[in-house]
Amino acid sequence: MNSLIHIGIDVHKDTYSLCSYSFQTSQAFGQTKIGSDNKLVIKYVD
C-alpha cells in the first residue's frame, strides 16, 4: 500500500525546520530541525 506524505520546510539561513503530515491519519509527525544542508533534507525524506 502506498501513502502520500506531505513535508513542510521552514527555511532559514542556518537551519531548516521539517515536519511531515499525513492527510489519511490527520496527524503531523517527524518534526525536526536540521542544518541548512540539502543532503540532510534528502536523508530526512528517505
| Amino acid present at 9 | I
pTM beyond 0.75: the answer is yes
pLDDT at 2: 81
- 8 Å CB contact between 37 and 5: no
Instruction: Kindly state the average pLDDT of the residues 8-21.
Output: 97
Distance between CA atoms of residues 46 and 39, nearest Å: 11
pLDDT at 1: 66
CB count within 10 Å of CB 20 equals 16
Distance between CA atoms of residues 16 and 24, nearest Å: 25
